[in-house]
Amino acid sequence: MDFSSTAPALDAAGDPNDFRAWTMFLGASEAELADALKPVMATGRRLAVDRWPGGAKAAVAISFDVDNEFPMSAALPAQVGAGSYGWFQALPRIHRLLDEYEIPSTFYIPVGSAVLAPDMVPEILRSGRHEIGLHGWTHERVPELNGREEEERLLAQQIDWYRRAVGGMPRGYRAPNGAISNDTIDLLIRAGIKYDASLPGGDDCYELLSKGSPTGMVEVPFSWITTEWMYLHVDEFYQGNLQSPDEVYKVFSSEFEAAYDEGGLFVLTLHPHVIGRRSRLPILRRVIEDAKRKGDVWFATVEQVADYVGKQHNLVT
């Protein structure tokens, strides 16, 4: 049975409600199923830890995808303005909250967002606590790019921007929309990126596979459950499924409490132009205060989590 077209058919760019791609497996044997899916499997061995730094029971990593004006369905003033709220109004409010509790965070920034708001990166770096990671050129969907060559070119452009705007070499990457191609992991490794934070394969960190083979690279998992975008984002085309800040807090709180009970990792993925609204930022404050009250929670950047986990499992980070 020929599965030569399997990987493109399973690409994350496809319609998630279109199940026709799976019909090719209906006549497959067990061995053929395994062989067909192995090249696109990225979830490797679990990288759990017994204890976090300082004897902490659990770890919390608060991250922001600073998409701002990207993505947008059309370059029109109303849509651009809704994204500009992220740097114009929301980020100063977010910085005040993080400074109040001295919380380190990771900011994944599309280059386009930084270009449109040139004061944003220096302000993020001001406290010396935060990490900046890569998040695309203009928040493009990686699987929809014109092949490996274009993806590699855009990654090189992101790294060049980072060297000039931030300094040094970026450590981490989160794919726009959490969508990677079959080449992304290889390209990240070749470029010198040390960890990825795009994939939802676990609650704890795990080792990435590339085309079925272990890479030694740490995945710090992302989840749509712990991003406010699904619940609170609103524009003329889309309305999130939970508009009450109290209800969103309950989702985040239950996820944090479960992570704490298991001695695990809680990663929160937020967007300044969504969570930074004045009625919504209290959600983040409540989550921070809940974690602070535990007394044995390690607040860290995503890079710090990846480094610690990698060293615990003898991976090069």
Strand 213-219 and strand 297-299: the pairing is unpaired
Domain boundaries, the chain: 6-40, 43-312
Q: Is 275 left (phi over 0), alpha (psi -120 to 50) or beta?
A: alpha
Tokens in use for 21? 């791609």
Classify the C-alpha dihedral 220-299-134-66 as positive or negative. Answer: positive
- CATH superfamily to which 43-312 belongs: Glycoside hydrolase/deacetylase (3.20.20.370)
73-83 tens-digit pLDDT: 778 888 888 89
Residue 30: its pLDDT value, please? Answer: 86
Residue 8: its pLDDT value, please? Answer: 46
Tell which residue, 167, 103, 113, 118, has the closest CA to residue 135: 113
pLDDT > 80? residue 281: yes
296 DSSP assignment: -
The pTM assigned to this predicted structure is: 0.92
pLDDT > 70? residue 244: yes
Tell me the C-alpha distance between 260 and 72, whole Å.
Answer: 37
126-135 tens-digit pLDDT: 999 999 999 9
How crowded is the C-beta side of 137, counted as CA atoms within 13 Å? 13
Residue 27: its pLDDT value, please? Answer: 80
| More confident position, 37 or 101 | 101
